[in-house]
Amino acid sequence: MQNFNNHRRFYPIHHFFLTPLLIGLLVWSIVHCTKNGFSFPNVFFVLCSFILSLMTLISRIYALKNQNRIIRLEMRYRYFELAGKSFSEKEKELKLGQIIALRFAGDTELIALSERAISENLSPTEIKKAITNWLGDYNRI
């Protein structure tokens, strides 16, 4: 059962394998290049390591941006379904982090908590802590 204490997710292949290896490769290639001279193969290796690291970072950013768009669409749909009116006015008053935090609120408390988040300018952490009926998200990237 997901709740505030265990809702943060790690993607082990990305967070604990690929990223540390690529950072290590980049650091090693820079150290190798500075110790052994700036020859074409050494500089090329640094450049390739940098490009691989950058590609991994960019692919992660693309996935997170897509996830954020999906969460906004989900919130628009849920709010309309529950309140019978558009979420657009509320969305203008909320930051993305607040909208993402509200995503975890169950249907019974979503509307009231979104009003409270706006009126009290609650942080995402405060919103998550205020949720009593946690709606788990097991499909995040």
Using alpha carbons only, give the angle 24, 16, 5 rounded to the nearest 5 degrees.
140
Whether pLDDT at 140 is above 80: no
Q: Give 10's DSSP letter.
A: -
pTM: 0.80
Return the HEC string of 79-129: HHHHHCCCCHHHHHHCCHHHHHHHCCECCCCHHHHHHHHHHHCCCHHHHHH
Report, as an integer, the average pLDDT of 96-104.
96
Q: How does the average pLDDT of the chain come out, rounded?
A: 93
Would you state the pLDDT for residue 4?
83
Report, as an integer, the average pLDDT of 23-28.
97
The percent of residues in the chain predicted with pLDDT above 70, rounded, is 99
Report, as an integer, the average pLDDT of 100-105.
95
Would you state the pLDDT for residue 141?
66
Are residues 125 and 97 in contact, defined by beta-carbon separation less than 8 angstroms?
A: no
Band of pLDDT at residue 5, cut at 50, 70 and 90 = confident
Q: Give 63's DSSP letter.
A: H
Whether pLDDT at 33 is above 70: yes
